[in-house]
Amino acid sequence: MSKDYQFPPDFLWGSATSAYQIEGSPLADGAGPSIWHRFVRTPGMVKDGDTGDVACDHYRRYKDDVKLMRDLGLKAYRFSVAWARVMPEGRGRVNPGGLDFYERLVDTLLENGIEPLLTLYHWDLPAALDDRGGWLNPDVAHWFADYASVMYRRLDGRVKRWATLNEPWVVTDGGYLHGALAPGHRNRFEAPIASHHLLRSHGAAVQAYRAEGKHEIGLVVNLEPKYPASDSAEDRAAVQRADAYMNRQYLDPVFFGRYPDEMKEIFGEAWPEWPEEDYALIRQPIDWLGFNYYTRSVTRHDEHAWPLRAGVVRQHATYSETGWEVFPQGLTDTLAWLRDRYGNPPVYITENGSAFYDPPTVEGDTLDDPLRVDYLRKHLRAIHDAIGQGCDVRGYMAWSLLDNLEWSLGFSKRFGIVHVDFQTQKRTPKASGRLYAKIVASNGRALSESA
Ligand code: BGC
């Protein structure tokens, strides 16, 4: 007999996007430029010179996109707000045109019975704030809390689940350590400072929410479990460093008020000391944790891998187009780790998905994406297993609703459960989208069918 994959009755099924990746019209209605608006114009930083100037044109087509979600039967939608639409200079003056857009979006979602999950920051810092040091400037915590408060005042109540930051690790690692993402710095001294001010900003926004908001607020992190390539002491130590850097660096301060010990070992003289009161600010109780899961890494000691001295060992396995190993068990393992290490917080899987090669043309009204179908099914089963092991998982947001601008990889990688023809802007649900609709409609039962 096949297993029954029924999910808990109020499990929240949805999908996710982010502002810069889909909206287009970056300067419309009085918006200011963001660091991504600049970064895409820096020669060589984005594949094929792609930009988010049009992307999925969602800023103008949001009503159709909400209808698409309704047709798929989605119960929730995770999106982000472009800070520079709401505050073109990042602080001070509020731009009504930008704020109105998100209000219209939220109202349209609610009219269609779709719950909004709003992320305040998904990587698109107002360029004017970058000119003042961006995440390196301690004042960013106040700027962020002020912006957050503007959003709370306008939308709390209609939005009941808020997230402060999306993936502070990627913001820091990509933006300040390796330079592959905006603002494109590559500096070992800057990275820990950016991380810390991201965390302080998160704390300040949670604190502001307690004063203004009546519902729930959380933080979204990407977690990638690290497994040792061998039993050697060196490899096991490399796993500890890699895990501290990517996974515990953000959660330990939020849950325990301290950084992992390995951080000093990794950054050496570049690792600063911070005042105690910063940890009190960072350690605000949160209502839920957003967990973005894509892959794992099998880790070994590598003296030449800067700055972690940890490398990745390729497996005999399926890899996605972004070079990530498909490893659903890592999702179950990490949920169990969150349960054990951090006291079983309510978790939403706020992103999970895969870029695979899709056929170039849509045949009739269908597009078959068997590898993405397989990925989706296996990861949802992995979550079901974790729930069976007592993990408090409350929802799942498929990444992504639409094919979109995959940051510095441009439009070359497609993560959508809905195909987007970037010439015509036509949307076509892929087989993965159609399967997801069945899973949502059956609250998981469709996963019980074999394959
Ligand atoms: C980000 C998304 C991104 C996805 C796939 C996550 O790190 O939050 O914006 O598109 O991964 O790379």
Q: Which residues surround ligand 1 with Cβ inside 6 Å?
A: 18, 21, 166-167, 170, 222, 292, 351, 399, 406, 415
Whether residue 146 lies inside any domain: the answer is yes
413 C-alpha to ligand 1 centroid (Å): 11
Q: What is the pLDDT of residue 178?
A: 97
| Model-wide pTM > 0.85 | yes
Q: Which of 122, 406, 413 to mutate to test the pocket of ligand 1 (most atoms within 8 A of CB)?
A: 406
Structure tokens at 164: 């402060």
State how far the alpha carbon of 376 is from the alpha carbons of 24, 68, 211, in Å.
28, 19, 39
Per DSSP bridges, beta strands 297-301 and 347-351 are unpaired
Summarised one tens digit per residue, pLDDT across range 189-220 is 999 999 999 999 999 999 999 999 999 999 99
Q: Please answer whether residues 12 and 73 qualify as being in contact, where contact means their C-beta atoms are separated by less than 8 angstroms.
A: no
| Domain encompassing residue 302 | 12-448
Half-sphere exposure of 16 (CA within 13 A, CB side): 28
Q: What is the rounded distance in angstroms from the CA atom of residue 331 to the CA atom of residue 391?
A: 11
Burial of 207 (0-12, 13-18, 19+ CB in 10 A): middle
Q: Please answer whether residues 321 and 356 qualify as being in contact, where contact means their C-beta atoms are separated by less than 8 angstroms.
A: yes
* Per-position DSSP letters for 83-149, written without gaps between them: HHHHSTTSSS---HHHHHHHHHHHHHHHHTT-EEEEEEESS--BHHHHTTTGGGSTTHHHHHHHHHH
The protein residue with its alpha carbon nearest to ligand 1, atom 9, reads 18
Q: Please answer whether residues 333 and 225 qualify as being in contact, where contact means their C-beta atoms are separated by less than 8 angstroms.
A: yes
Whether residue 7 lies inside any domain: the answer is no
Sheet holding 297-301, edge to edge: 226-228, 297-301, 310-312
Q: Determine the residue type at 224.
A: E
178 C-alpha to ligand 1 centroid (Å): 16
Whether residue 23 lies inside any domain: the answer is yes
pLDDT tens over the chain, length 451 residues: 579 999 999 999 999 999 999 999 999 999 999 999 999 999 999 999 999 999 999 999 999 999 999 999 999 999 999 999 999 999 999 999 999 999 999 999 999 999 999 999 999 999 999 999 999 999 999 999 999 999 999 999 999 999 999 999 999 999 999 999 999 999 999 999 999 999 999 999 999 999 999 999 999 999 999 999 999 999 999 999 999 999 999 999 999 999 999 999 999 999 999 999 999 999 999 999 999 999 999 999 999 999 999 999 999 999 999 999 999 999 999 999 999 999 999 999 999 999 999 987 777 778 999 999 999 999 999 999 999 999 999 999 999 999 999 999 999 999 999 999 999 999 999 999 999 999 999 999 999 986 6
Q: What is the DSSP letter of 179?
A: -
Half-sphere exposure of 30 (CA within 13 A, CB side): 13
Q: Please answer whether residues 288 and 394 qualify as being in contact, where contact means their C-beta atoms are separated by less than 8 angstroms.
A: yes
Chain centroid to CA 134: how far?
20
Bridge partners, 222 (sequence order): 292
Active site residues: 167, 351
231 C-alpha to ligand 1 centroid (Å): 32
177 C-alpha to ligand 1 centroid (Å): 18
- Tally the domains of the chain: 1
Structure tokens at 118: 């709003």
Q: What is the rounded distance in angstroms from the CA atom of residue 26 to the CA atom of residue 83?
A: 11
The protein residue with its alpha carbon nearest to ligand 1, atom 12, reads 406
Q: What is the DSSP letter of 266?
A: H
Whether residue 400 lies inside any domain: the answer is yes
- Ligand 1 atom closest to 353 (CA): 5
The protein residue with its alpha carbon nearest to ligand 1, atom 5, reads 406
The protein residue with its alpha carbon nearest to ligand 1, atom 10, reads 406
Q: What is the DSSP letter of 248?
A: I
Whether residue 204 lies inside any domain: the answer is yes
At residue 198's C-alpha, the angle toward residues 197 and 200, to 5°, is 60
- Ligand 1 atom closest to 166 (CA): 8
Summarised one tens digit per residue, pLDDT across range 81-100 is 999 999 999 999 999 999 99
Q: Please answer whether residues 348 and 290 qualify as being in contact, where contact means their C-beta atoms are separated by less than 8 angstroms.
A: yes
Whether residue 2 lies inside any domain: the answer is no
Q: Which of 167, 178, 348 to mutate to test the pocket of ligand 1 (most atoms within 8 A of CB)?
A: 167
Whether residue 252 lies inside any domain: the answer is yes
The per-type count for the chain, helices as H runs and strands as E runs, is: 16, 13
Which CATH number does the domain housing residue 84 bear? Answer: 3.20.20.80
First to last CA, the chain: 14
Whether residue 280 lies inside any domain: the answer is yes
At residue 375's C-alpha, the angle toward residues 372 and 376, to 5°, is 85
